Amino acid sequence: MIFVLCLTFLSILVFHQFYWRRRNLPPGPMPWPLVGNFVSMFYPPPGYGAFNRWTKKYGDIYTFWLGSTPYIMINSYEKMKETFVKDGDTYVAKKPQGFNEEFRGGSYGVIETNGEVWRNHRRFALMNLRDIGLGKDLMQEKILIEVEDMFKDFDSTIGSIEEVDIPLRFYNGVVNVINQATLGYRFDSENYNDFAKLKNLLDFQNEAFNDPIVMIQAFVPALGKLFPNHSIQKILDGFKNDFYGFFNEQIEKNRKKVDFDSEESDNYCEAYLKEQKKREAEGDFESFSNKQLSNMILDLWFAGLVTTTTTISWAIAYFLHNPEVQEKIYEELDRVIGGERLITTSDKNDLPYMNSFINESQRCANIIPINLFHETTKDTTINGWLVKAGTGVIAQISTVMMDEKVFPNPEKFDPTRYIDKETGKFKKIDEVLPFSIGKRQCLGEGLARMELFLFISNFLNRYKIKVGELPSIDKSNETTVTPRKFNGFVTRRYL
């Protein structure tokens, strides 16, 4: 009798798991109880292999299970245009993640919020970033100040017998750009301890989320409970207290010195505080709260710092691994720039190979193995499948950037993909999507593109690099794509 009951229960479980739950969803890899397809992402990590295999087997639409939650994966540029672009409102919502709301203390910020909160604060952020110079000469001037400061730092190491941390110098410059934009000041010798503490926090966060068990606790909490000694909650609590503590302190410093009678603002925090005061005078104490402000600054920091510094470190790593690329870059720089003057965005059209190098670095670095989680806002149809409102959906950009039809031999680092054979000019390839696609495309894209061009081109124009050991470009031992770490020597190219 007991055997019959157990067999019946097992049969019902198998029927429910492997047929009933999947019957109205596009075909995809078989999910396992509790974990879904999550574990398959790590054979090998960080996930490209699994997503590419599934795309070849099931096509550009299939269902991927993250724990017990199904996500419809969109795996081609054409399908992304049909869904996330042409029908953007249907795919604009983010799917809430429990650990993220616990971390933030609710639904705050702009990366993970939806509806009016997301719409109003994204619009306000974009408007005020433009006001303080994004996309204008003013922002370029601020970035070039950091480039020159980076030069002073590198120059001071020339002739030293000790190798220098090359990515760290870029990090210093990029963090100053985003901190000026958000909080109105740059880090210097007087507040270096604040900078060092924040850098350690970000490094710790990168290392913590490279632990597979922490990833399981974040995205498959039912299984994560089996690993109490690897508590993601402890990691997030420490990270939250230190980061929010720093941001809240800076917000209050800004509040004390804001000229509320002036219409102009020189940083995002100041503009926000003025808008907050105006709304509170009208009786609105919710939409521009202090908690929302600290979360907005956190989001802008991550959007403007982590992805940019990670990409720069990978770009320099690819540069070091490819001597023929080095020769072509130096030849173009010598021919077009011909000296140590600062390169500006006005030079961009005259440096097609440099632009190609940066685009190929972004494609090959491919730092988001699985894109952010969205959900449908209403019932819709994808490839003939009826998809209910609230269904998870992901624009899987990492697969698109490895598409063999668009990028033959996609594992190869080849900047010539972007050079028009007839004109010799840079040609844009739409499938390079490092900033995602659709209405939730990265709001810091304009700033990031400017920083990547100005920091990388100026550095490579001024210096040659020598390293004792090449930085690794192997991702198969990491669950996330982390910045490259390497030391070396620099020498001036022009004397």
Rounded CA-CA distance 18/26 in Å is 13
CB of 394 closer than 8 Å to CB of 371: yes
- Please tell me the distance from the alpha carbon of residue 174 to that of residue 169, in angstroms, as a whole number: 9
For residues 80 and 437, the answer to whether their CB atoms sit within 8 Å is yes
Kindly report the CA angle at 88 between 87 and 93, in degrees rounded to 5? Answer: 130
- According to DSSP, residue 419 is labeled B
**Strands 93-94, 463-466: parallel, antiparallel or unpaired by DSSP?**
unpaired
Q: How many CB atoms lie within 10 A of CB 397?
A: 25
d(C-alpha 72, C-alpha 394), whole Å: 6
The kind and range of the H/E element at 82 are none
Tokens standing for 21?
Answer: 């739950």
Q: What is the token pair recorded at 169?
A: 């110098």
DSSP string for 333-367: HHHHT-SSSPP-GGGGGG-HHHHHHHHHHHHHH--
Taking the mean position of all CA atoms in its chain, how far away is CA 430? 18
Which of helix, strand or coil describes residue 36? strand
Residue 209's SS3 state is coil
By the 8 A CB rule, do 117 and 428 touch?
no
Q: Is 442 annotated as a binding residue?
A: yes
Task: Please count the CA atoms within 13 angstroms of the CA of 48 that sit on its side-chain side.
Answer: 22
**Nearest by Cα to 176 from 132, 131, 145, 214:** 145
| φ, ψ for residue 423, nearest 5 deg | -100, -20
In Å, what is the CA distance from 280 to each residue of 117, 182, 273, 288, 461?
16, 22, 10, 9, 51
CB of 63 within 8 A of CB of 72?
Answer: yes
CA distance 379 to 384: 12
Hunting for tokens 């029908």 — which residue is that? 87
Q: Given the structure tokens 């870059």, which residue do they identify?
A: 329
Quote the longest CA-to-CA distance of the chain: 89
Picking from 94, 91, 68, 53, the residue whose alpha carbon sits closest to that of residue 16 is 68
- Provide the pairing of β-strand 385-387 with 380-382: antiparallel
User: What 3-state DSSP class applies to 73?
Assistant: strand
Residues marked as binding?
442
Residues marked as binding for heme?
442
